[in-house]
Amino acid sequence: MARPRDARWAGALGILGEVRRTPGVTRAEAARRLGLGSGSATEITARLRGLDLLDEIPAPVVGRGRPTTRLRPSPRGPLVAVVEVRYEDWRCAISEIDGRPVTVAARRHGRGGGEQIVPPIAEVLSGLRSRYGRRLRAVSVAVAGAVRHGRLVQAAPLEWGPTDLSGMVPDDALPLLIGNDATLAGLAEARGGAGVRAGTVLHLTVEVGLGGVLVVGGVPVVGAGGAGGEYGHMPFGDRSVRCLCGARGCWDNDVDGRALARHLGAPPPEDPRAFAYEVLQRAAAANAAGQGEGNAEADAVRRVARALASGIAGLVNAHDPDVVTLGGVAPLIRAAAEEEFDAAYLDGLMAFRRADPIPLRAVALGDEGALIGAAAAGLDLVLSESGLNDWAADLEA
């Protein structure tokens, strides 16, 4: 952690970081992790209470040690509004500084352009601004599309082009952060999910297409403009298939519900994610009954499993992560064709890796990963030194 330029925040940033890392952490445990003495920790938390950042409640007494307190967000403290835009719907949530977003509104959206989602989300956010006033410090958006320089430039599965989302924000005083949903889910898994305590995490998720991100030291590696991690658009797939993104041979088209439909000779599904779940359930049932061989759906799943595992192996060879976290339907694909998946994964690894292959783990945060990651990105700004200076100045005004 960089040394604060303002002496007011010496130690405070660390305490706030522990509250984010472990909601409900005791003051004594936070002090131990940060190497602070009891007196220093008491003084810092008192200052944070005075700034309406933290509250303290007595912790249950354990053993013969000194009584301590649990640290929790102040009921008058800063908030981040969080928005997640998915293939079929959107939802809005509010998060305190512990990074636990609570959904306040959700709605399905139609098949039109991306601009359609802006007015209803703006209405929800305007209501939050009216309710919470200065406590609302930022809006953080996770979107199922490519984000470059903080703008949604393409959402291929939705067939959206560049879309201006700035109209969501009720006033110019609120910062707007926009990130790819898979990137933000990877951030959440690396910091507090299946990748926690790993230095380098490769996160991959299969929803409608495949997305992901490499997270190093808790920070997503997203390239010069922020659009990195579009792994689904690497040419690991069928070169005869033109992707909705404009490229040919995208891995996206070989690993999701659209691929399953193609292998089954079915028309492109309206909801590829729901279609994938249905096929995977039936394939798993056929396998459990000993009827997987020759079953069309089980065969389709095996083909998709091999395509997914082979690509993962290639990315492991390229990135050398400590762990790979798998989200969306990816863990179900693996489970429904485990033998074929694992064989294809090992076969795609460089020889020196096969004796001790990089582990593949299902995500720990489930469908909440992108929402939690968007909250984390917003809190990175709000609880930065400059963000805390702004908060303190508003309190004094």
Pick from 380, 384, 391, 393: nearest CA to 78: 391
- If you count them, how many residues does the chain have? 397
Quick: pLDDT tens for 31-63.
Answer: 999 999 999 999 999 999 999 999 999 877 666
* Nearest-angstrom CA–CA distance, 145 and 311: 20
Q: Provide the pLDDT for residue 60.
A: 78
User: Mean pLDDT, the chain, as a whole number?
Assistant: 94
At 56, is the secondary structure helix, strand, or coil?
A: strand
Stretch 91-99: mean pLDDT, rounded?
Answer: 98
The CA-atom distances, in angstroms, between 202 and each of 147, 191, 254, 322 are: 19, 12, 20, 8
Residue 267 has pLDDT above 70, yes or no: yes
Q: Provide the pLDDT for residue 67.
A: 72
Take residue 93 and report the two structure tokens written for it.
């949530």
What is the residue extent of each domain of the chain?
Answer: 7-73, 79-184+369-396, 196-363
Cβ distance 321 to 200 under 8 Å?
A: yes
pTM (two decimals): 0.93
Take residue 295 and report the two structure tokens written for it.
């079953």
CATH 1.10.10.10 at 7-73, yes or no: yes
Quick: pLDDT tens for 228-249.
Answer: 999 999 999 989 989 989 999 9
Q: Provide the pLDDT for residue 371.
A: 98
**% of the chain beyond a pLDDT of 70:** 97
Which overall architecture, per CATH, does domain 79-184+369-396 show? 2-Layer Sandwich (3.30)
The CA-atom distances, in angstroms, between 342 and each of 38, 330, 359 are: 50, 13, 11
Q: Provide the pLDDT for residue 64.
A: 61
- What is residue 98's DSSP assignment? T
Quick: pLDDT tens for 324-334.
Answer: 999 999 999 99
If you write DSSP's letter for every residue of 147-206 in order, what string do you get?
EETTEEEEBGGGTB-SB--GGGSSSTTS-EEEEEHHHHHHHHHHHHSTTTT-SEEEEEEE
Query: Hey, do 79-184+369-396 and 196-363 end up sharing a CATH topology, with the first three levels equal?
Result: yes
139 DSSP β-pair partners: 81, 176
At 54, is the secondary structure helix, strand, or coil?
A: strand
* Nearest-angstrom CA–CA distance, 128 and 135: 10
* Nearest-angstrom CA–CA distance, 351 and 346: 9
Angle between helices 296-319 and 257-264 (to 10 degrees): 140
Stretch 309-322: mean pLDDT, rounded?
Answer: 98
Q: How confident is the model at residue 6 (pLDDT cuts 50, 70, 90)?
A: low
Pick from 126, 192, 204, 213: nearest CA to 379: 192
Q: Provide the pLDDT for residue 343.
A: 98
CATH 3.30.420.40 at 196-363, yes or no: yes
Residue 5 has pLDDT above 80, yes or no: no
Residue 7 has pLDDT above 80, yes or no: no
Stretch 379-396: mean pLDDT, rounded?
Answer: 95
∠ CA 17-362-150, rounded to 5°: 55
Q: How confident is the model at residue 211 (pLDDT cuts 50, 70, 90)?
A: very high
Given phi > 0 = left and psi -120 to 50 = alpha, else beta, which region is 150?
left
User: Which sign, positive or negative, has the C-alpha torsion 73, 75, 77, 80?
Assistant: positive
Q: Provide the pLDDT for residue 10.
A: 77
Stretch 300-310: mean pLDDT, rounded?
Answer: 98
Quick: pLDDT tens for 104-150.
Answer: 999 999 777 889 999 999 999 999 999 999 999 999 999 999 999 99
